[in-house]
Amino acid sequence: MIRQLSGIVSESQLVTTDVELEPYGRDWHSYHSGVPPDVVVFPTSTAQVSAILRACNDAGFPVVARGAGTSLEGHTTTPYRGVCVDLSHMDAIVSVRPDDMDATVQAGVRWQDFNKALAPHGLFFAMDPGPGATLGGMAGTGCSGTNAVRYGAMKANVLSLTVVLADGTVVRTGSRARKSTAGYDLTSLFVGSEGTLGVVTELTVKLQHLPQQTAVAVAAFPHIRAASDAVLATMRSGVHMGAVELLDTNMIGAVNAQSGFAYPATPHVFFKFTGSPAKVADDAARVQACIRAHGGLDFQWTPDQAARERLWEARKVALWSAGAMDTSRKVATTDVCVPLSRLPDLMAAMEGRAAASPLKVYAVGHVGDGNVHHFIAFDPDDAGELREAKALNDFLVATAQGMDGTCTGEHGVGVGKVKYLEAEFGGAALDVMRAVKAALDPRGTLNPGKKLPGCAVPAAADAAASAPH
Amino acid sequence: MIRQLSGIVSESQLVTTDVELEPYGRDWHSYHSGVPPDVVVFPTSTAQVSAILRACNDAGFPVVARGAGTSLEGHTTTPYRGVCVDLSHMDAIVSVRPDDMDATVQAGVRWQDFNKALAPHGLFFAMDPGPGATLGGMAGTGCSGTNAVRYGAMKANVLSLTVVLADGTVVRTGSRARKSTAGYDLTSLFVGSEGTLGVVTELTVKLQHLPQQTAVAVAAFPHIRAASDAVLATMRSGVHMGAVELLDTNMIGAVNAQSGFAYPATPHVFFKFTGSPAKVADDAARVQACIRAHGGLDFQWTPDQAARERLWEARKVALWSAGAMDTSRKVATTDVCVPLSRLPDLMAAMEGRAAASPLKVYAVGHVGDGNVHHFIAFDPDDAGELREAKALNDFLVATAQGMDGTCTGEHGVGVGKVKYLEAEFGGAALDVMRAVKAALDPRGTLNPGKKLPGCAVPAAADAAASAPH
């Protein structure tokens, strides 16, 4: 296979030594263990990706596409070894069309770099997942972030994709029209499919106007239920929020310690207001009324842009802050999402469960969408702590699914959530998904072991490598 | 088959006489000719739909699902006869959950009835296709309408579906979480699949707040390019419009004649502003600046709610108004959508082409999304006029596709647009769609002849019936 790949890409685009491969075997952001791939290849064009996939598919070799590797559920690990296709060298912004409010980029473009290029046009790309993520990876995972309550998730922000199928076929999933009902919606099928149906090499995405004004306020609450009730009331009031982020007491402690804030040790909600000055003032007045009605202790505007950015940056690095509180432990991330009215019950239930646990749990969430992350600090080498971390996750997922919610709002399935899908969808819906997978990737070449339970693995997969994740 | 169906539903739920079947053979809203089905069945439960589909699939009988039959491209015609499954008796609003801002309805619920039930909660369902359409049909077509520029199209407003597959299997495509990346996005796959992948029996949909304030204004322009340039400038200004509807000179003439208005004979744009009074005032000021900058002749507020509703109703029945201008002719509807900046060129090109045609063409569009409909009045019994109507449609579609647009923004493919898909997607993407179709409906039972070119038809399909559409 390495010989074949050498015929497709140059020597500098191939990595085959153990020391270079080792980092690709780990998931840096989760406790999902792994083994390195046999080879990493850095294509620079869709044509190269096509040739690579055709060769791997013919040989029965597993292919795992990778952007920046910032995903959180082991999406880019290589449990069956094989070929890791690292798309980070395909990082060209192909075209920005301000009047169409869209742009075309290669898969390896990072969202923060993209936004820097868009700012002179008064535009931005609205998704804000973990720092460093690439657009291709964001399409794979179906990411969202703090802005999703305002602009929708990744699926709502992609117009069309260039995708390489398992056998090397290149397809474009749609036009640049902002609406279409022509054909089946392949764009939405590939977005969030985690590289199991095809490898995204190019994306055409919708852009948004930079808001005329952005204002950020922080409200404190006596307990988690009051905070989540206030969020529910805010959403129900009809205010079109820019972002609504809830941090529990432990998370506020971590933000204080790691980012130099001094918030009181109670749950807080960060509100972002965007729009014209008149709209921002009007929205803020309505939100303040909701906060007062739900026992809010305090409501403070961040005075200027620097303070706003510092606060939002602190929110952005919440996961790192939680991890930094106890460097002897790792952090397991969770990601449930429930119908809006169930959020207070979910938060209270998990806080109760966590209080009875020896492990420390931090909560932060995009709660305007009913989406929350709990960070569970644990020692992966301590079997008891590992078991307890998994039990906390199991409890949270079962609680959310019992509320007609989902096991993952935005982090995706990877290897970490595969076991929860049956309970969420039932076997018949999973059979439909497996039928789609088999139709598009009959040999199981693409990202085996991820996204769905019970799919085929390719013939030359290194079964011995697929240790428990 | 009729005997088998009689074992599933009661006698009153079956229609088998020629006189009753005849209306089901026509598409009332297009020039697509057809033949009646062999039988129409009115199920009252998902279980009945399941049993019906299982029986038809086993027997190789075509199944065409139907809501209100208001679609425009022959979606519900029965070119291969078989069984029409009319879901209009499944019209229960199952559950409204105001605090979750979602609701669950059966497929036969009509959107206007639904909105009447939602109003007491201060909520509404944002899609507004043709009057009378059912939620199930709206999911099938992937509709949108005037509000889509503000709330997105149907896909963005459906949380999950209950779908009966060709073999009778019942699946639920997702939870009620407002975001999820669990499994593949089957919801978006079924929405817009026009009953070719499964029959939707129940929908859980997102609801929106009734706007605090709604204001409507009308602007006149000297010519179509000025009007579309003003729309582009409006969208580019960052105003979050409620709706932006462009009517060309012929369309304004029809609205004047049929709805009793007296607008000058020039292109007009109807603007809808929604939100708080402060936001509405602010948006309107910015839009007026765009209108002035692009040679707008006039800008008038509709004074009160009654006038607003009368104006919007006139817009809503534009298709009927065009038809009523010459009752000796039918109206062929078109539905292209292009990137925003190309709209002025598209409108001007089509106006030029129509000026050289003996047929009268009316244009009206959801132009904030780059989506426009041209209504072509023609005599279907006059071969020359039929040919010219088709030529105008061909010209428009080719022009839009040449601008990286789509042959259908919201009306769907039905039988009318099948021929345009190859040019839009290329063969490889169509192969992917056909692979999905074959995986979910291997016998081709569901709505044969629609949505995609080159799919299998079921064994017992009446091939003789499939006359040219």
> pLDDT tens-digit profile of B410-438?
999 999 999 999 999 999 999 999 999 99
Q: Is B370 domain-assigned? A: yes
Instruction: Tell me the pLDDT band of B87, cut-offs 50, 70 and 90.
Output: very high
- Per-residue pLDDT, A122: 97
Average pLDDT for A410-437: 97
Q: B266 — phi, psi (to 5°)?
A: -140, 170
The 3-class SS string of B414-460 reads CCCCHHHHHHHHCHHHHHHHHHHHHHHCCCCCECCCCCCCCCCCCCC
Per-window interface: A 340-379 vs B, CB < 8 A: 340-342, 369-371
The partner residues of B14 in beta bridges, in order of sequence, read: B41
Taking the Cβ of residue A419 and every Cβ of chain B, the question of whether any pair is shorter than 8 Å is answered with no
A285 touches chain B (CB under 8 A): no
Mention every residue, 6+ apart, whose C-beta is less than 8 A from residue B35: B25, B78, B79, B81, B462, B465, B467
Per the CB < 8 Å rule, is A179 touching B424?
no
Residues within 8 A of B (CB atoms), A 224-283 only: 232, 235-236, 238, 240, 275-276, 278-279, 281-283
Q: Do the Cβ atoms of A141 and B181 come within 8 Å?
A: yes
B422 touching chain A per CB within 8 A: no
Q: Which residues contact A27 (CB under 8 A, 6 or more apart)?
A: A33, A34, A69, A71, A72, A73, A74, A75, A76, A77, A414
H or E, element range at A201? strand A199-206
Would you call A169 and B431 a contact, using CB atoms and an 8 Å cutoff? yes
Same domain, A119 and A217: no
- Listed in sequence order, the residues at least 6 apart from B383 whose beta carbon sits closer than 8 Å to its beta carbon are none
User: Is residue A117 domain-resident?
Assistant: yes
Q: Which of A170, A177, A400 minimises the CB distance to B339?
A: A177
Per-residue pLDDT tens over the stretch B94-140: 999 999 999 999 999 999 999 999 999 999 999 999 999 999 999 99
| Paired sense of beta strands B83-86 and B39-41, if any | parallel
CA distances from A360 to A28, A327, A350, B9 (A): 20, 13, 12, 58
B238-255 mean pLDDT? 95
- Beta-sheet strands, E only, within B22-120: 39-41, 63-66, 83-86, 93-97, 102-106
pLDDT score for B469: 44
In A261-359, DSSP assigns E strands to: 268-275, 298-301, 330-333, 336-337
Q: Is the dihedral of CA B344, B349, B352, B354 positive or negative?
A: negative
Alpha-carbon distances, residue B280 vs A288, A406, B239, B285 (angstroms): 21, 37, 10, 9
**Contact, B311 vs B318, CB < 8 A?**
no
Regarding whether A397 and A337 lie in a shared domain, the answer is: yes
In a domain, B49, yes or no: no
Å between B261 CA and nearest CA of chain A: 31
Q: Is the dihedral of CA B391, B396, B397, B399 positive or negative?
A: positive
A424 to B142: CB separation less than 8 angstroms, yes or no: no
pLDDT at B32: 78
Closest Cβ opposite residue B177 in set A186, A409, A411: A409
- Contact between chains at A152 and B152 (C-beta distance less than 8 A): yes
Eight-class DSSP state of A210: P
Partners of residue A289 in chain B, C-beta under 8 Å: none
Number of helical (H) and strand (E) elements in chain B, helices listed first: 17, 19
Domain that holds residue B348: 213-402
Segment A291-333, tens digit of pLDDT? 999 999 988 988 889 999 999 988 988 999 999 999 999 999 9
pLDDT tens per residue across span A100-159:
999 999 999 999 999 999 999 999 999 999 999 999 999 999 999 999 999 999 999 999
A235 to B141: CB separation less than 8 angstroms, yes or no: no
Cβ of A183 within 8 Å of Cβ of B337? The answer is: no
A238 and A196 belong to one structural domain: no
Smallest CA-to-CA distance from A244 within A262, A257, A227, A226 is with: A227
Calculate Rg over the CA atoms of chain B. 22
Q: How far apart are CA B5 and CA B159, in angstroms?
A: 32
Q: Do A100 and B188 touch (CB under 8 A)?
A: no
What is the CA B156 to chain-centroid distance, rounded?
A: 15
Contact A179 B212 (CB under 8 A): no
| Same domain assignment for residues A226 and A108 | no
Question: What rounded mean pLDDT belongs to chain A?
Answer: 95
- CATH number of B161's domain: 3.30.465.10
Question: For residue A469, what pLDDT is reported?
Answer: 44
Is the pLDDT score of B468 beyond 60? no
Strands A83-86 and A39-41: parallel
DSSP A263: -
Of B402, B427, B449, the residue at which a domain comes to its end is B402
What is Dmax (Cα atoms) for chain B?
Answer: 68
Are residue A136 and residue A218 in the same domain, yes or no?
no
Amino acid identity of B99?
Answer: D
| Residue of A181, A373, A447 for testing the chain B interface, max B β-carbons within 10 Å | A181
Whether residue A90 has pLDDT greater than 90:
yes
pLDDT digits (tens, 9 = 90+) for A353-389: 999 999 999 999 999 999 999 999 999 899 999 999 9
How far is the C-alpha of B372 from the C-alpha of B409, rounded, in Å?
Answer: 8
Chain A contact present for B440, CB below 8 A = yes
Task: Indicate yes or no: CB of B100 within 8 angstroms of CB of A339.
Answer: yes
- What is residue A464's predicted lDDT score, i.e. its pLDDT? 64
Residue with tokens 């301590």: A382
Q: In whole angstroms, what is the distance from residue A419 CA to residue A423 CA?
A: 8
B405 has a chain A CB within 8 A of its CB: yes
Chain B residues touching A424 at Cβ < 8 A: 175, 182-183
Task: Decide if B426 is inside a domain.
Answer: no
DSSP letter at B132 equals T
Q: Does residue B290 sit in the same domain as residue B155? A: no
Contact B178 A401 (CB under 8 A): no
Tell me if chain A has a CB within 8 Å of the CB of B447: no
Task: Return mean pLDDT, chain B.
Answer: 95
Q: Would you say residue A348 lies in a domain?
A: yes
Position B423 scores a pLDDT of: 98
Shared-domain flag, residues B291 and B146: no
pLDDT at A32: 78
Q: Residue range B16-20: average pLDDT?
A: 94
Q: How far is B251 from chain A (nearest CA, A)?
A: 23
pLDDT higher than threshold 80 for residue B464: no
| B466 band by pLDDT with thresholds 50, 70 and 90 | low
From residue B225, alpha-carbon distances to B156, B221, B270, B343, B397 in Å are: 31, 9, 16, 9, 19
CB pairs under 8 A between A and B: 284
Q: How many CA atoms lie within 13 A of A462 on its CB side?
A: 16
Q: How far is B66 from chain A (nearest CA, A)?
A: 18
Q: Residue A35 above 70 pLDDT?
A: yes
> How many CB atoms are closer than 10 A to CB B381?
10
The confidence band for A462, taking pLDDT boundaries of 50, 70 and 90, is: confident
Whether A468 has a pLDDT exceeding 60, the answer reads no
> Is residue B442 in some structural domain?
no
- Residues A148/B179, Cβ–Cβ less than 8 Å: yes
Under DSSP, the state recorded for A245 is: E
Looking at the fold, whether B109 and B204 belong to one and the same domain comes out as yes
Last residue in a domain, options A209, A232, A257? A209
Contacts B170 to A, Cβ<8 Å: 428
pLDDT tens, B314-359? 898 899 999 999 999 999 999 999 999 999 999 999 999 999 999 9
Is A425–B174 a contact, with Cβ atoms under 8 angstroms apart?
yes
pLDDT category of residue A336 using cuts at 50, 70 and 90:
very high
Q: What is the pTM of this model?
A: 0.97
B468: buried, middle or exposed (CB in 10 Å: 19+, 13-18, 0-12)?
Answer: exposed
Same domain (yes/no): A251, A378: yes
In a domain, A418, yes or no: no
Backbone angles phi, psi at B59, to 5 degrees: -90, 0
- Is A440 an interface residue toward B (CB < 8 Å)? yes
Residue A159 counted as domain residue: yes
> Which amino acid is residue B23, in one-letter code?
P
Give the pLDDT confidence score for residue B302 in this predicted structure: 87
Gap between the Cα atoms of A441 and A220, Å rounded: 50
- List the alpha helices (DSSP H) in B119-202: 135-141, 148-151, 154-157, 186-190
**C-alpha–C-alpha distance, residues B127 and B88, integer Å:** 19
Rounded average pLDDT over A69-91: 95
A206, A372, A182: which is closest to B407 by C-alpha?
A: A182
Question: Are both B205 and B220 inside the same structural domain?
Answer: no
User: What is the identity of the amino acid at A265?
Assistant: A
> Which stretches of A106-248 are DSSP H helices?
111-118, 135-141, 148-151, 154-157, 186-190, 224-236
B217 beta partners: B271, B301
Instruction: Give how many domains chain A has, as a whole number.
Output: 2
Burial of A243 (0-12, 13-18, 19+ CB in 10 A): buried
Q: Which amino acid type is present at position A228?
A: S
Could you report the per-residue pLDDT of A94-103, keeping only the tens digit for each? 999 999 999 9
Is the pLDDT assigned to residue A196 strictly greater than 80? yes
Contacts of B142 in chain A (CB under 8 A): 181, 185
Burial A430-464 (b: 16+ CB within 10 A, else e): bebbbbbbebbbebbbbbbbbbbbebebbebbbee
Do B381 and B284 fall within a single domain?
yes
Across-strand partners of B164?
A: B170, B199
Whether the predicted pLDDT of B30 surpasses 90: no
Average pLDDT value for residue range A422-440: 98
Domain end call among B402, B424, B440: B402
- Measured CA distances, A91 to A87, A134, A208, B137, B353 (Å): 8, 9, 21, 42, 42
> A238: which chain B residues are within 8 Å (Cβ-Cβ)?
122, 209, 212
C-alpha span between A279 and A294 (Å, rounded): 23
Could you tell me which residues come within 8 angstroms of residue A452 by beta carbon, excluding any fewer than 6 positions away?
A196, A413, A418, A421, A430, A433, A434, A437, B183, B184
Say whether both B242 and B99 belong to one domain. no
